[in-house]
Amino acid sequence: MTDRFTTYAEFWPHYLGEHRRPATRICHFAGTISGLVLLVIGLLTADPRWVAAALVAGYGPAWLSHAAIEHNKPATFRYPIWSLISDLRMAILMTMGRLNREIERYKIN
């Protein structure tokens, strides 16, 4: 990744482009949802092991999908907050059945 983004509006289309393949998006969705569930359990039980498990479950499938499916590097380390927001946004759009429209909007292929 050579681009340096200064706004989230610039970053979002790039993020979508780094998740072109449906299998990558499915891995992200599974990781995001399972990570959120484990995080809630950790917060409700005040057990940090669940929070640690949430991080592994949330990021593990996503990072693996970048290596094995997309063959690119995740933006997590360079843009950690925007990447997290985008993971959540993508999961919400997938749940609502609106992600394909968003991909078409930015002409991601």
The tens place of each residue's pLDDT in the chain, 109 residues long, gives 457 899 999 999 999 999 999 999 999 999 999 999 999 999 999 999 999 999 999 999 999 999 999 999 999 989 999 999 999 999 999 999 999 999 999 998 7
Tell me what pLDDT residue 109 has.
Answer: 75
Tell me what pLDDT residue 66 has.
Answer: 97
Tell me what pLDDT residue 2 has.
Answer: 56
- Yes or no: say if 80 and 35 are a contact pair by the CB < 8 Å rule: no
- Separation of alpha carbons 35 and 27, rounded Å: 12
pTM of the shown model: 0.92
Which residues fall within 8 angstroms of residue 36, CB to CB, at 6 or more apart? 54, 58
Closest CA to 39 of 94, 93, 88, 98: 88
Tell me what pLDDT residue 79 has.
Answer: 96
Could you tell me the CA-to-CA distances from 51 to 1, 12, 13, 99 in Å, in that order? Answer: 29, 27, 30, 28
Tell me what pLDDT residue 85 has.
Answer: 98
Strands (E), the chain: none
